[in-house]
């Protein structure tokens, strides 16, 4: 519906406006038509100029002003319009090009993931226990540490508590740098295709939810993915009016970001700005349903913290963090961190303060489970989906050989029922090992096709790490290289971020929770 509106309805409204303008006064219709053409041609030219400007910044150190790019784009548009007026060949080319609009619609509808998800057979649990799983977004392991392999019990006491009462895997790594692959891979026990499948049951039909559907009561909160079968999680999917309203609201902003120069657009929501989600409310609503039914239950929450925007102190209080006005906004380049070391430290500090907020939310989950008597008999899994990097000259999120250590390393905690398996496990764990481990704990036979393995089995000795990038390519490294690199950056984190005067100033704010 939305694609049809963009391709057909919007142009029809423009033509209607031109017709009404022409009837209102002679000459207004053609003038409006030319104005629309200049605007669209300028937008096309701006996209090309922005790419040239990006290349000039990266390789030549030259940064053209945004107003200059707009001036050149408008001149190019006016020149193209004059060419269309004078050249029969140009006008003929444009008429033939008109078929691209309905053609694009047909290509989009043919490629959209509209298929019905294939059936996924359920497994049978011989030792069913309650399962509670929390996935935290954009959380690298180093953000929880004070030294290699050692959690910072003063700054993140609830993560440290979970490590004492369960098992902490400091060498755990993710398999992808974006949520739409990292979370499905974690819940499916396999990496998935390199060309990136949609994060729903059509792309990942066999996952934790489909395997336990029927055996377990499912209470699933997925803000990004749609892996829970519709019949088991009818409330997870947005209604059609809600989805169309969200698209209509976001499209003008995304269209502007697609063409506007970086220095003329709104600032990035990396830190500051309005929250799209309310993690505190999400955890509260989630816990209201945990432990209220008998029988095997799977309670799953993907909470979007400590993900950007980084604007909360450990107490949960919102504040205005330094550095936000220095981060330009654009569609892809939002994730590129400049070579300014001070900016990197500002963002890093804001992130670590919000990690304290994530720890506070985890403490609420643990306390709730203890109050209702579920904690000792439940399988509790807490994991990060992917990391984030604060290395100057490297992207914040897109994995590269220069930041793979920060993107790949993610925390993983597994507390088994009755306190089994406590301590730190140095196994080279991967997030795709989570599903096989859960199935092992509940005594279920793993289905064929899993690439992960149960972490309760003998140690895996392979220390190789592969992380899928947004460019559909793998960045490869080893655990030894990740540990060495993270140890170096942990020292910088301790000395220049947590030990800085600005950290102390932030923590002296009223109700900081530090």
Question: How much is the average pLDDT of 413-427?
Answer: 90
* pLDDT, tens digit (0-9, with 9 covering 90-100), for 205-254: 999 999 999 899 999 999 999 999 888 887 665 667 777 787 787 788 77
The domain ranges of the chain are: 2-111, 131-500
CA distances from 350 to 107, 310, 391 (A): 43, 6, 15
**Strand, coil or helix: 300:** strand
Per-residue pLDDT band for 422 (boundaries 50, 70, 90) equals: confident
Per-residue pLDDT band for 274 (boundaries 50, 70, 90) equals: very low
Tell me the C-alpha distance between 272 and 342, whole Å: 17
Percent with pLDDT over 90 in the chain: 60
Q: Which of residues 364 and 421 earns the better pLDDT score? A: 364
**Strand, coil or helix: 35:** helix
Tell me the C-alpha distance between 347 and 469, whole Å: 22
* pLDDT, tens digit (0-9, with 9 covering 90-100), for 429-448: 999 999 999 999 999 999 99
DSSP readout, 81-130?
A: HHHHHH-HHHHHHHHHHTTHHHHHHHHHHHHS--SPPPP------SS---
Q: Both tokens of residue 73?
A: 């784009």
pLDDT at 462: 79
pLDDT(118) > 90: no
Q: Both tokens of residue 206?
A: 């066999």
CA proximity to 166, closest of 356, 369, 409: 369
Average pLDDT taken over every residue of the chain? 88
Per-residue pLDDT band for 114 (boundaries 50, 70, 90) equals: low
The fold for domain 131-500 equals Alkaline Phosphatase, subunit A (3.40.720)
* pLDDT, tens digit (0-9, with 9 covering 90-100), for 390-417: 988 888 888 999 999 999 999 999 999 9
CA angle 314, 320, 323 (to 5 degrees): 105
């Amino acid at each position: 519906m939305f694609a049809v509106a963009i391709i057909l309805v919007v142009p029809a409204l423009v033509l209607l406006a031109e017709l009404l303008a022409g009837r209102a006064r002679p000459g207004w219709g053609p003038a409006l038509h030319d104005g629309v053409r200049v605007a669209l041609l300028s937008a096309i030219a701006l996209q090309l100029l922005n790419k040239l400007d990006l290349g000039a910044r990266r390789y030549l150190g030259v940064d053209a002003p945004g107003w200059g790019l707009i001036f050149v784009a408008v001149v190019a548009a006016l020149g193209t319009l004059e060419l269309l007026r004078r050249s029969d060949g140009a006008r003929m080319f444009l008429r033939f090009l008109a078929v691209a609009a309905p053609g694009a619609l047909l290509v989009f509808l043919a490629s959209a993931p509209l298929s019905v998800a294939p059936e996924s057979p359920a497994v049978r649990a011989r030792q069913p226990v309650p399962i509670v799983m929390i996935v935290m977004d954009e959380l690298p392991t180093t953000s929880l540490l004070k030294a290699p392999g050692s959690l910072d019990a003063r700054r993140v006491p609830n993560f440290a508590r979970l490590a004492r009462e369960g098992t902490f895997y400091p060498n755990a790594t993710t398999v992808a740098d974006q949520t739409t692959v990292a979370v499905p891979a974690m819940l499916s026990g396999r990496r998935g295709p390199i060309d990136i499948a949609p994060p729903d049951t059509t792309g990942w039909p066999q996952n934790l939810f489909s395997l336990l559907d029927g055996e377990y009561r499912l209470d699933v909160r997925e803000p990004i993915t749609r892996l829970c079968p519709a019949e088991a999680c009818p409330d997870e999917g947005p209604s059609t009016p809600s989805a169309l309203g969200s698209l209509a609201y976001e499209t003008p902003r995304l269209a502007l970001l697609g063409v506007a120069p970086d220095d003329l657009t709104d600032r990035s929501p990396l830190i500051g700005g309005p929250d799209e989600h309310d993690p505190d409310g999400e955890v509260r609503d989630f816990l209201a349903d945990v432990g209220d039914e008998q029988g095997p239950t799977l309670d799953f929450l993907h909470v979007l913290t400590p993900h950007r925007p980084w604007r909360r102190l450990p107490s949960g209080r919102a504040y205005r963090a330094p550095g936000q006005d220095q981060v330009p906004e654009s569609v892809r380049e939002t994730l590129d961190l400049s070579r300014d070391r001070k900016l990197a430290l500002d963002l890093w500090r804001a992130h670590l303060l919000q990690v304290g907020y994530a720890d506070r939310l985890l403490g609420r989950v643990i306390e709730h489970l203890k109050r209702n008597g579920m904690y000792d008999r439940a399988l509790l899994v807490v994991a990060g989906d992917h990391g984030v990097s604060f290395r100057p000259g490297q992207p914040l999120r897109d994995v590269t050989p220069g930041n793979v250590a920060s993107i790949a390393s993610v925390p993983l905690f597994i507390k088994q029922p009755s306190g089994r398996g406590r301590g730190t496990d140095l196994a080279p764990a991967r997030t795709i090992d989570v599903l096989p481990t859960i199935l092992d704990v509940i005594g279920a036979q793993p289905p064929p096709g899993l690439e992960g393995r149960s972490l309760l089995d003998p140690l895996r000795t392979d220390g190789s790490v592969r992380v899928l990038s947004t460019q559909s390519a793998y960045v490869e490294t080893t655990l030894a290289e990740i540990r060495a690199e993270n140890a170096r950056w942990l020292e910088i984190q301790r000395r220049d971020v947590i030990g800085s005067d600005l950290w102390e100033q932030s923590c002296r704010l009223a109700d900081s929770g530090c």
